[in-house]
Structure formats: structure tokens, C-alpha cells
Amino acid sequence: MANLQTIFSRRTLWNLTGPILDKELRTSSRRTRNYWLRVGYLMAMTAFIALVWIGIVADFQRGGNLAVQIANMSMAGMLIITAIVGFQFLATQFLSVILLSTAISDEIYHSTLGVLMTTPINSFQIVIGKLFSNLLQIIILIGISLPLLSLVRVFGGVPWSYVWSSLCVTLTAIVFAGSLSLYFSISGRRSYAVILKTILALGVLYGFMPGLVLWMLYYRVPLNDLLPWVILPNPMITMYCHTLTVVAPNAMAGFPFYFAWWPNCLIMLALSLLILSRSIAIVRVVALRQATGQSTELFPELPFLRYLFGKKPPSDETVHEESIRDVHGSPVVWKELRAPIIQGGRKAGIAAIVVSVGALAFTYAMGYKDNLLREDNTHMSYLTIFMFMGLVANLVLPATTITTERETRCWPLLLATILDDWQILLGKAAGVIRRCLPMWLFIAAHTCLFILTRYIHPIALLHLTMIAVGSSIFVTGSGLYFSAVLRRTTSAVVANLALAIGLWAVMPVVMLFVTMITTDQAYLNWSLKLNPIAQTSVTAKADSGDDNALDPLSQLRYQWTQTHRTRFGKTTLTLLGSMFGYSIAGVTFAWRAKYRLRRHIFD
């Protein structure tokens, strides 16, 4: 009887996923990067928990005698467990987006998807097999943290119900993020483009849309009627509220059911099923078209998108040869400058710009109606978001310049020309600057517009220019270096993102814990003064608002921390030194990339 149950369970799993899951599991177990991923995840989590523990111990040692410290161990256990839960909640979602960014595109662009459709394997098994095989790697990472959670649970302070319920919220959020990344990978050839699309979509769903709903209807609809629409489909807010039930239970007492965790899990699973069902349908169409030798372009299956972007169906009678263009100057610069800023054609780019400008104008109109454009916090938020967008684009694009040439087998041909290494490298850098230009134009346009309306001080243009120039040169140089050293585009993008996260996210957290231990804020102040996001927030807050826009330079004050303020002259010198430092570091990275261009050419 037991053998029959085992056979039945295996047969059921086989019918669900087919040989795709078995093949993916066998290949993933032989990939070295998966083992490095587990080691890196464990090291990052251990370092994060160690910092939390050091901060807790330092705080408790100043809090009383030994009996009081022992009594506070339950509080320490609660803080450590919530820190572990929060770390794995954010890290695993980001990893799921990266791991599934090439789930379907690899099969499409290696022309193996059509071959799969000539076998008994169906599109359902392809999609589910790809999803489960990559999610298994994420589940292994979550399993690494379970022993640590069990050990810390000895301190008390946190019920087991919080541990497993937060695990459910994390898993459903991972499934949704992974399903969205898999969906975008069907039409996205480059992994970095899929990663950016997925992160942007998640940012809109989890941040922009809830904020827009609250902003538009706050004065028209009671808050209790709005909260379900904001909280239920948002795992970020759900996890925050669920953590508050443990950290501050009195704060969540008396709130209605939609602050519970299980409605969010059901909604995220339902949304994931909708995305996967759409992915299965599209994969079937694309695979059949590839198997029959037709174009795998998705527009024939989406007529409304074809009509929107003005594309005509391809046919043998409408094939036209493009005229040959003359190359002027450096061929690498010429080629990079003529690459599309936004993939999908000129009309798709124009449509994206129109939608972005329209959404921004709508927020300006709402802010003007509520008289928010006069406040410094409003412009600080705008400028910080724009700076973040520019940095993300500048982080991703340089890391793809050389690896894409390798993946398309064009790199040996480029190196066989008479161009020297600096001409190739500077041409790639020029293309990156040109593609990132639309992102930086948002922050420039916002600043100039509100300087004219006297809501932002003119000196803000100088400060933001120094921040943008220094940070963009740095991440461009580091991206070129990682693109020259690493073989795969995804690896180069992840390495450049990891460098930025380590310098501008992890380092301030480390310095914060060092400040808690030593009570010396000098390290924290310098980590913030070298952080472009913190620089933008501090300078934008001091240089904007109707109270500050008309002040003389001598009266401007820049608040870095609660106890540290600087004047205009010292702040400007700090930003100038930061710009030169980042520029030198970026040029150094580019110089090292030059010496790596002709190594391992045919790998």
C-alpha cells in the first residue's frame, strides 16, 4: 500500500511538472553559482544578525544590572527574530526576481522552446517546471535561517505562530514576484531589462498605487473604507502590520480583519495564478510559432498593443531593405549612440515618455491642489526618487555593455578591428550616458521648473549636479569593470548592484550600529555624507520650500543627523570632495576594465 502511494504521488508530480523540473533540478545542483549564492546569503544574514545583536547588547549594558539584562533577553529574542524575518522577506523576493529573469527567454532565444513543443511536454509543464525549480533554490535559502530562528526562540518573546505565519507571507510574496519576473522574461531578451521591469512593476504595485489611492480619496472616502484596498494586496504593509502585532501588540488591538496575514496570502496566490495562466498561454503561442518557423514576436498575439505602437504584421510582400548608413567618427560611439534608449522602437519610447510625463503632471496637479508644493518634504521626496531612478539605470546599463557582446559572439570581432581598448571603452561609456540621460532629465526638469516658481533655491541645481556627476561616473566605471571581468550579463548586473548596496545601504547600517556601541556619530555622519541618496535628501530639504527658496546662502542649514548640521560652504565642499572621490574611483575601475578586455575572449 505504501509503495502504491509513493508511485501515485510521484506520478502526480510528474504529470504536473513533467521532465522540465527534473532537468532543472539536475542542472542547478551542478551550478557553482548556486552554492556561492547560499554561502553569500548565509554570510550576509549572519553579519546582519551580528550587527543587530551587538546593538542590542550595547543598549542592554547601559540599561541596568545583570537581573534586568536577563529579564530583557526576551526583548532581544523578539528583535532578532523580527530582523531575520525582515531580512529574508526582502532578500528572497529580490533573488526570486533575478533567478527567474531568464526562465523563458533562454529557451526562446536559444531556439529550444519550439523543440520542446514537438515533445509530449506542454506549456503548463514548461512554466510550472521553471517556476518550481527556481523557487526551490529560494526555499533552500529560507531553510538555512530556520535553525537560527529555532535557537533564538529559546530567549522567548515571540510565539511560533508569528514565525510560520510570516513564513507564509514571505512565500506568497516570493511566488508573486517570481511569477511576474517569469512573465516579463517571455518578451524580454535581456535579463537586466526583465529585472528592471519587475522591480518597477513591484514598486508601482506596492508603493505608487497605494499612495495614489490614499492621496486621491483621502478627503472623499473614510479611511477605514480605503485601508482594505491598500493593505490586502500589499505584502509589504501586511508584513509590517503583522510584525507590529508582536513588537507593539497594543498598537494593533481593535483593528479589523484585513490587518491579518492570511487574506494577503490568498490574494497574492490568486494574482500569481492569473499571471501564470497568462504566461502559460503566451508560452504556448510563442513555442508553436517557433516550432513552425514563424516570428516569436508577441505583437501578433496582442493586437491592441500592435495598434497602440503602430506596428504592421510582417509579411513576405512588405519586407524592405534598410538603407546603409555612413559611419562617422568612432564606430563604437556611432553604434552606441544609435542604439534605442527604450527597447521596442521609437513609438514605444514616445509612448513611455508621454505616460511618464502625464503621471508626473498629475501628481503635480494634485500637489498644487492640496498646497503641498510649497513644502520642503514634497520636493525632497521627488528629488530623492528621481535620483534613485537615475542611479538604478546607471547601475544596470554599464554592466551589460561588454557581456552582451560576448553572449552574442560579437566580442572577438570587435577586438579584431583596429580600435584600441580606450576607444572601445569610451564608446561604451558614451552609450551608457546617452541611455541614462532621460532618467537624469527628470531631476533636472523638476529642479529648473520649481526654481522658476521659487519653490527651490537655485543653489540646489549645483548641489544635485555634483551628486549626479560623481555617482554616475563611479557606477559607470564599476559597471564596465564587472562587465569586462564576468561572463554573464546577470552576474555583472548583480555584482554592480551588490557594490552599490554594500556602500550605500549596508555601510550606513553598520555605521549606525557602531554609533550605538561607541556613542560617536562621526562614522555615521561621514557614511551619510558619502551616500548620494542621503546627500540628495539632505540638500533637497534644505534648498527647497517657500521658506528656504528665497533665503541667502549664509542662512541655509543642512541637517545630516539630529545633532549634526552644516552651513552652505562646508556642505558644498563636502559634495565637491565626494564628486572628485567618486570620479577618481570610477576612472580607476574603467582603467582596470581596460586591462581585462582581451582576457578570456572566447569564454
Do residues 263 and 166 make contact, with C-beta atoms less than 8 angstroms apart? Answer: no
* Residue found by looking up cell 508530480 in the block: 13
**Which residues are within 8 A (CB) of 485 and not within 5 positions of it... i.e. 6 or more apart?**
492, 593, 596
Check pLDDT > 80 for residue 382. yes
Picking from 174, 74, 183, 190, the residue whose alpha carbon sits closest to that of residue 127 is 183
Q: What is the pTM of this model?
A: 0.75
The SS3 of residue 314 is coil
In angstroms, rounded to a whole number, what is the distance separating the alpha carbons of residues 382 and 378? 6
pLDDT at residue 256 tops 80: no
pLDDT, one tens digit per residue, over 48-58 is 777 777 766 66
Least confident piece of the model among 35-39, 60-64, 224-228, 429-433: 60-64
- Mean pLDDT to the nearest integer, 395-404: 85
CA–CA distance, 420 with 425 (Å, rounded to integer) = 9
The three grid cell numbers given for residue 408, joined into one nine-digit string = 552574442
What amino acid is encoded at 46 in this protein?
Answer: T
Dist CA 484 CA 403 (whole Å):
7
Q: How far is CA 463 from CA 136, 443, 541, in A?
A: 46, 12, 12
Specify the DSSP class assigned to residue 439. Answer: H
**Contact status, residue 116 vs residue 286, Cβ threshold 8 Å:** no
- Please give the average per-residue pLDDT across 330-334, as a whole number: 74
Band of residue 303 on the pLDDT scale cut at 50, 70, 90: very low
pLDDT over 90, % of the chain: 14
Cell of 463: 548641489
Q: Which amino acid is at 103?
A: A
DSSP count for the chain of H helices, then E strands: 27, 2
Transcribe 209-223 into DSSP letters. Answer: HHHHHHHHHTTTS-H
From 188-202, 288-302, 345-359, 493-507, the region with the lowest mean pLDDT: 288-302
Q: Is the per-residue pLDDT at 376 higher than 60?
A: yes
Element (H, E) at 560: strand 558-561
Among 9-13, 89-93, 531-535, which is the least confidently predicted range? 9-13
Stronger pLDDT, 518 or 300, i.e. the higher one: 518
**Residues 78/247, Cβ–Cβ less than 8 Å:** yes
pLDDT in tens, 523-575: 778 888 889 999 999 999 888 888 888 888 888 888 887 777 888 889 999 99
Mean pLDDT of the 420-446 span: 86
* Residue keyed to cell 483621502: 218
Q: Which amino acid is at 261?
A: W
Please tell me whether residue 561 adopts helix, strand or coil conformation. strand
C-alpha distance across the termini of the chain, in Å: 53
Give yes or no for residue 581 having a pLDDT over 90. Answer: yes
**Which set of grid coordinates corresponds to residue 119?**
515533445
Mean pLDDT of 398-413: 82
